[in-house]
């Protein structure tokens, strides 16, 4: 009789590493977001984006002719940092 032992933790780690590799490849395929993609990625309306972070001088953006473009990687990093700061700000206000 043949017996096979499988280390589930090792398989899970291998699966997650491969999944992350594929996600990184997909993320690198899109270099710039347009306004429509920014709204989709943030799940926010254009007015909300403008009210909360569009005018922040550290928000990565540039305008080419009449259209705004946003570097995908830099925007993702900015938005994560912005969301963390916003949650801390709201937590402080609630504590008062």
Give the DSSP H/E element, type plus range, for residue 6: none
The domain spans of the chain are 31-95
Reported pTM: 0.65
Q: Give the pLDDT score at 88.
A: 78
Phi, psi of 74 (to 5 degrees): -65, -40
Q: What are the tens digits of pLDDT across the range 55-93?
A: 999 999 999 999 999 999 899 999 999 999 888 776 666
**44 confidence band (pLDDT: 50, 70, 90):** very high
pLDDT, mean over the chain = 88
Does 50 score more than 90 pLDDT?
yes
Q: Give the pLDDT score at 93.
A: 62
């Amino acid at each position: 009789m043949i017996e096979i032992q499988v280390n589930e933790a090792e398989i899970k780690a291998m699966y997650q590493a491969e999944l992350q590799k594929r996600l990184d490849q997909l993320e690198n395929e899109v270099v710039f977001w347009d306004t429509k993609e920014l709204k989709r990625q943030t799940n926010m309306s254009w007015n909300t984006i403008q009210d909360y972070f569009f005018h922040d001088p550290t928000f990565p953006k540039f305008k080419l002719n009449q259209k705004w473009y946003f570097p995908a990687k830099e925007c993702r990093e900015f938005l994560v940092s912005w969301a963390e700061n916003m949650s801390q700000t709201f937590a402080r206000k609630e504590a008062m």
